[in-house]
Structure 1
Amino acid sequence: MADEVRKLVAQYFQFFDPPQLDLPPGDVLLRPVVQEALHERMFDESLTPLPPAAYRTRVLKLIVARIEEAIKDPEEDELNDNLMDALGVLVAQPKPSALELAQQLSHVKYTAPLQSPPTSDREVTTIESRGLILSGGTTGNRTWEAALHLGSFLASPAGESLVRGKRVIELGAGTGFLSLFCARHLGVRGVVSSDREPVLIENMRECVRFNYQGEGPFPFYPAVWDWGTPLEKTEELESFVEGEDLRFDVALGADLIYDTDIIPLLLSTVRDLFENYHVEQFIISATLRNEKTFQTFLDGCENNAFRVEALPFESTTSEEQNGFFHSTSIPIKTYRILKAQ
């Protein structure tokens, strides 16, 4: 039963579009134990945090409709009272406007792909607004496909081995999804989650209480970093200082290359990471919306004598994914960039 509802629960907390949810078949949903599990794991008001009421309403209506379609004998088959009570409470709530929905900050919980052999679910909670555009036209207040792709790689044994025990810095972290995953589940020595937007940094700090397990220090350090300026050596980053320098072993970046205009500054920052922050390798994931744009970045790496290696990792198809769900309709590539020798 757990396997039958696990994927649905994971998609639900990641705010999958309701028609795209992988609902169990009707005969499975008819089982009283399955319906009670759905209530306990998806709609019980004591769960924290829950998706917005409008989203919960849409999903629960879909589930109830599927159950009702499957009922063949009304005397034998029935809807769970807790599910019906939850639906009654939800439909009675005031409906927010389209503008309110677009600006709404929500807690989104991501579940990593299953390990082999399976262990307990590895989850990360972020704060996001799917419709909010920040200053400069950036959309860092949501987790994009390239970050989910890179997260899936880091969730694999090969990916985890690159960051475990290492000092990590993430560029353009946005929601902090990758950094939070590293801090909570991948055994990093420490991770600095950097972005230029102060509002995103504050959101990341708020996320700590939903991800910290209360066992030892949580090695996650959000920091404002505007490329082209030095990263400030604050007291919070003291553990990353050796001698006079901030030092990192690995840098991460996802979906940083969306405009050719930003490439020179990104290349300069990569050089800065290698020369002044002692980074050994930069792992970057990019959605190839425009292959020419990304090729411009790769050409720039070659011109700077950086070594570029394509990592042999492909996301599984959307239908086969069981965690960090993301579209694969547009190719996503992952590279390791090493400093010039």
Structure 2
Amino acid sequence: MGTHGDIHTPPNYDGLIQLKRLYLQSVPAGSIAFDCLVPACQVDWGFQDHLYNTILAKDATAYRPAQQYTRRFLKFLISSLERNLAEDEELHDSILTLYSDLMSKPDSASDATKPTFITYLLPPIQSFSKKDTQVVISERKSVLSADGHTGSRTWEAALALGEFFLFTPPSISKPISECRILELGAGTAFASILLSKLGAKHVLATDGDERVCETIQTNIGLNTHTNNISVSQLLWGPSQEDNFIYTEPWDLVIGGDITYDTRDLSDLVHTLKKLLETNKGASSKAIISATVRNEDTLHEFDTSLSAVGLNFEVKEVGESERRLWYYGSDTPIRIYTIGSR
């Protein structure tokens, strides 16, 4: 067995941070390319100690993934470590103890429907303080929640929208720090929370479902103690045209995966036009991230935007632009930048 105090090779910090990012996002273990993240020559006792303290220890994260997932992840991790152990090395006792403890704890019948904490690690860029290096979301990872709405998980288009703001300077007239931002159909409010951490002047996350708005308030509380983000219910279309939101100045309107239902497109476009026309003098823009599930649906969206006099540009989100988080599929994603004429 190797000497516990020795580290024969320098730890691969980038690989461990990416492994932690995948673990905290509760990525299916079978989709994690462990051998690409951790070269075999590094798996000695010292490396495992660093791995444990970086990813698995109690103080490594404020919100550990669900017990069922952590157990599956540890089974995968132990198998991967065993396969790559350096000669005369053994598995770290803390990793084995944690796995044994989780195996001894029975799951309850309600665990499958409980919301779990999903943590999205942010890149180490100057804009974030040390306490703001992650977005924590209470999610149900099933496609639909038990209540039947789609606002219980963070969809791929929202992740792409987040990466767009992190890595692609948007074509807007003000820096994010000077922007008042409105999110439509916010769901878990991942994008709103991210933009609040990027220092937006104010962010208002809206959704048409009252229960979703309650969850958004929970997610805001998990992430920030500042007053630059809030939540409000908003129904699209003419039914709520007297809502105060339409009289407020918005520099930026955003949305992630809100174009999937053709029954809602007319009301969505109506709302976008009203918001952008109200703030026309301020050169307000809308940035909408859309998963391409059905070309006909997005063609209808394009046609509806043009019909009401809104200009738009479309950017395809390539594989190289999905660099931070696990998306779960390679379904095409488009980002619309929309403005009034």
Compute the TM-score of the two structures, normalised by the length of structure 1.
0.84
What letter is aligned with 1:89?
D
* Equivalent residues of 1:168, 1:248 under 8 A apart: yes
Quote how far apart the aligned CAs of 1:315 are: 4.5
Residue 18 (structure 1) aligns with: 29
CA 1:84 to 1:135, structure 2 compared with 1: closer, same or farther past 3 Å?
Answer: closer
Q: Say whether residues 1:174 and 2:174 are aligned partners.
A: no
Identity percentage of aligned residues: 24
Correspondent of 1:288 among 283, 286, 292: 292
> 1:149-228, aligned counterparts within 5 Å?
149-159=160-170, 163-184=176-197, 186-212=198-224, 217-228=226-237
**Do the aligned partners of residues 64 and 261 (structure 1) sit closer, same or farther apart at CA in structure 2, a change above 3 Å counting?**
same
SS at structure 2 position matched to 1:16: coil
The amino acid of 1:262's aligned partner reads D
1:4 to 15, 34, 38: 15
Contact 2:163 2:321 in 1 (8 A): no
Opposite residue 211 of structure 2, the aligned amino acid is V
Contact 1:13 1:109 (C-alpha < 8 Å) held by counterparts: yes
Q: How far is 1:132 from its partner?
A: 6.6
Residue 104 of structure 1: aligned partner:
114
**What code does the residue aligned with 1:248 have?**
W
Query: Is residue 43–residue 86 contact of structure 2 (8 Å, CA) maintained in 1?
Result: no
2:137 matches 1:126: yes
The Cα of 1:150 is off from its aligned counterpart by 1.0
1:103–1:129 contact (8 Å) kept in structure 2 = yes
8 A Cα contact 1:115 1:156, kept in partner = no
Find the residue that maps to 1:164 and give its secondary structure: helix
Aligned residue number for residue 250 of structure 1: 252
Residue 4 of structure 1: how far off its partner (Å): 2.1
Question: Number of paired residues?
Answer: 320
The offset of 1:38, in angstroms, is: 2.4
Specify the SS of the correspondent of 1:69. Answer: helix
CA offsets 1:42-70 (integer angstroms, 9 cap, x no match): 22234321101110011111111122223
Aligned positions of 1:260-275 closer than 5 A: 260-275=262-277
Question: Aligned partner of 2:203: which letter?
Answer: V
Mean alpha-carbon deviation: is it higher for 265-274 or for 202-211?
Answer: 202-211
Partner of 1:237: none
Pairwise CA distance, 1:327: 4.4
Question: Aligned to 2:302, what secondary structure does the other structure show?
Answer: helix
More displaced 10-residue stretch of structure 1: 129-138 or 31-40:
129-138
Structure 1 unaligned segments of length 5 or more: list them. Answer: 234-239
Asked if 2 retains the 8 angstrom alpha-carbon contact of 1:26 and 1:67, the reply is: no
Identify if the C-alpha distance between structure 1 residues 277 and 221 changes in structure 2 by more than 3 Å, giving closer, same or farther: farther
Any stretches of 5+ residues in structure 2 without a counterpart? 1-10
- 1:141 aligns to what? 152
What does the per-residue CA deviation read over 1:57-99, in whole Å, with 9 as the maximum and x for residues that have no partner?
Answer: 11111111122223464xx3011111111111111110244xx
Local SS of the residue matching 1:247: coil
Aligned-pair Cα RMSD in Å: 2.8
Q: Is the 8 A contact 2:316 2:333 kept in 1?
A: no
Kindly provide the CA deviation profile for residues 218-261 of structure 1, in whole angstroms up to 9, marking residues without a partner as x: 4111111122314754xxxxxx89xxx31211000111111211
Cα 1:273–1:110 shift into 2, 3 Å: same
- Does the Cα contact within 8 Å between 2:16 and 2:54 map onto a contact in 1? no
Q: Distance in 2 between matches of 1:164 and 1:115?
A: 15
2:303 is the alignment partner of 1:299: yes
Counterpart Cα distance in 2 of 1:293 and 1:270: 17
- Is 1:330 paired with 2:331? yes
> 271-280 or 188-197: which moved more?
271-280
Range with bigger deviation, 15-24 or 169-178: 15-24
Deviations 1:278-332 (A, max 9, x none): 67111011111101110101011111111111246535176xx2x1332462111
Q: Give 2:118's aligned amino acid.
A: V
Tell me, in whole angstroms, the C-alpha distance in 2 between the residues paired with 1:134 and 1:232: 28
Alignment of 1:79-98 (within 5 A): 79-97=91-109
